[in-house]
């Protein structure tokens, strides 16, 4: 009986592995890639360095959370800014 359960479990795991990733993870991956591209464009336009970009939600709206770093002037520390961009 125990051997049959192990075979059933093994067959289930193989089936899940062959099924591929879930659609939700594909969506998150695509959103992350588009957020990164959006962050790169925003950093280039504002003369900043892109620290990070990820898919996020704010006030029920989907979008990207972008973190930029601005070079300090006159010996000041760099300034970090976090921006939400709705999509």
Closest CA to 84 of 58, 47, 59, 60: 58
Determine the Cα–Cα distance for residues 63 and 39; give it in Å rounded to an integer.
11
Sign of the Cα pseudo-torsion (55, 58, 62, 64, in order): negative
- Percent of all residues in the chain with a pLDDT value above 90, rounded to a whole number: 59
Determine the Cα–Cα distance for residues 14 and 81; give it in Å rounded to an integer.
45
What is the domain partition of the chain in residue ranges?
Answer: 23-86
SS3 assignment, position 20: coil
Determine the Cα–Cα distance for residues 65 and 13; give it in Å rounded to an integer.
36
- The strand pair at 79-86 and 49-58 is best described as unpaired
Q: What is the pTM of this model?
A: 0.63
Residue 7's pLDDT band, with cuts at 50, 70 and 90, is: very low
Question: Per residue in 16-36, pLDDT tens?
Answer: 444 445 444 455 555 667 999
């Amino acid at each position: 009986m125990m051997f049959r359960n192990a075979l059933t479990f093994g067959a289930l795991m193989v089936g899940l592995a062959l099924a591929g990733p879930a659609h939700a993870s594909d969506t998150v991956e695509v959103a992350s890639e588009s957020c990164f591209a959006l962050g790169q464009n925003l950093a280039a336009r504002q003369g900043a360095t892109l620290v990070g970009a990820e898919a996020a939600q704010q006030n029920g709206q989907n979008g990207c959370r972008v973190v930029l770093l601005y070079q300090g002037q006159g010996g000041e520390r760099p300034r970090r800014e976090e921006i939400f961009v709705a999509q």
